Amino acid sequence: MTVDFAALRAHLDTSDMLGKVIGFPAQMESAWKIGSDFAPRVEALRSKSFERVVVCGMGGSAIGGDLARAFLGDRARVPILSCRDYHLPANLAKGALAIVSSYSGNTGETLSAYDAARQHGATLVAITSGGELAARCERDHVPACIIPGGMPPRSAIGFSLLPMLQVLRAGGVAVFEDHEYREALDVARERCDAYAPARRDNAATEMAQQLHRHTPFIYAAPGLLEGVARRWSCQMNENAKTLAHFAFFPELDHNEIVGWEVGEHLLAHAVVISLEDREDHPMTRRQADAGLSLMEPYAARVERLETPGGGRLARMVALMLLGDFTSVYLAYLNDVDPTPVKKIDALKQQLAGEQ
């Protein structure tokens, strides 16, 4: 059956989430410029020897840290960790560069982690569009990279990732080359064109149709696609309003694999999406081959997606965009507007008075 995605878009996508996904290359350019302008403000950090970087943030703002860690790999001089919690342990904060990332600047967990990082003597840098986080940074003379507001945080992923990379490079914590960004930008343009609603042979509309009335189980190896797997899952949740699950080889071959046995009603509606990259450890690839073949008889379908050629950032962006587009098309098939996240809003409102 041919689905008219353009008509569904006109009917359902009242706040134009698809337009924001299609606009990702322009967002990358703007984010890169903002990061470049901000970088000199953190160059003095080079004189400090951090023991680790901790990215404090939640949801769409936290994922920039996951992508940065995955892209940089061994090119980060010290480990890059995440804190997705109110509580930031003193032994993590001490000696750390804490990058506090909140798109709105008003997320309770992130503000609490900011206070803890400060109290335990971490060096702070923030990325935000404003809110209470920007106010606290001003009060405390903490450098804050201000990004444009007014978008759903998850659609501002370029603004949370690229300035963070520039902070890490300017602060002497990691190395990468400008041409890696330019290559990723070219790939983003190419992919946004290939996944546009009017395009035939469109991997994103096809994937959305395969996922319709099914539950995605997204698997990857730890490494380049770790953040992308989580991003796929979160985008399915927030845009398509559906459950999704992610886990990693080889660990899942030691536990989750056994669960692929009982509960036909779920398994028969599970679509396995294996995200793969040529730099995955060869034995992890073997573990994926073996694990996926055990799932195959039970799952509705097993899809193996390999990153295209090119550098690490380009490969990561290419597969992330396939997930972003798929999640919006899946929202259309699910007859929902991709933008509102009423449950997140309600929870934030409910807890606002309690911080």
Q: Which residues are catalytic?
A: 238, 254, 348
150: which DSSP letter?
A: S
Q: Which is nearer to ligand F6R, 5 or 103 (CB)?
A: 103
Q: Least Å distance between CB 33 and ligand F6R?
A: 21
Quick one: 46 exposed, middle or buried, by C-beta within 10 A (0-12, 13-18, 19+)?
exposed
Q: Which of 103, 114, 176, 219 binds ligand F6R (CB under 6 A)?
A: 103
Q: Least Å distance between CB 278 and ligand F6R?
A: 30
Q: Extract long-range pairs of 289-292: CB within 8 Å, 24+ residues apart.
A: 290/253, 291/219, 291/249, 291/252, 291/253, 291/257, 292/219
CA 264 → CA 18, 24, 100, 270, 298, distances in Å? Answer: 34, 39, 43, 10, 8
Secondary structure (DSSP) of 51-100? SEEEEE--HHHHHHHHHHHHHHGGGBSS-EEEE-SS---HHHHTTEEEEE
Question: Interface mask (CB under 6 A) for ligand F6R, residues 226-245, using x and -?
Answer: ------------x-------
341 binds ligand F6R (CB under 6 A): yes
Specify whether the CB–CB gap between 328 and 202 falls below 8 A: no
In the complex, which residue's CB is closest to ligand F6R? 59
Q: Which stretch binds ligand F6R (CB under 6 A): 104-112, 196-204, 217-225, 315-323?
A: 104-112
In single-letter form, the type of residue at position 137 comes to: C
112 binds ligand F6R (CB under 6 A): no
Q: Which of 35, 64, 152, 171 binds ligand F6R (CB under 6 A)?
A: 152
Q: Which stretch binds ligand F6R (CB under 6 A): 86-94, 97-105, 193-201, 221-229?
A: 97-105
Q: Least Å distance between CB 32 and ligand F6R?
A: 20
Q: Which two tokens stand for residue 155?
A: 């659609």
Give the containing element (helix H, strand E) for 247.
strand 245-248
**Residue 54: phi, psi to the nearest 5?**
-120, 120
Applying the rule CB under 6 A, the residues between 288 and 317 that interact with ligand F6R are none
Residue at token pair 């990691």: 174
Q: Which of 24, 50, 61, 144 binds ligand F6R (CB under 6 A)?
A: 61
Q: Least Å distance between CB 200 and ligand F6R?
A: 30
Contact residues: ligand F6R, CB under 6 A: 58-61, 102-104, 107, 110, 152-154, 238, 341, 344
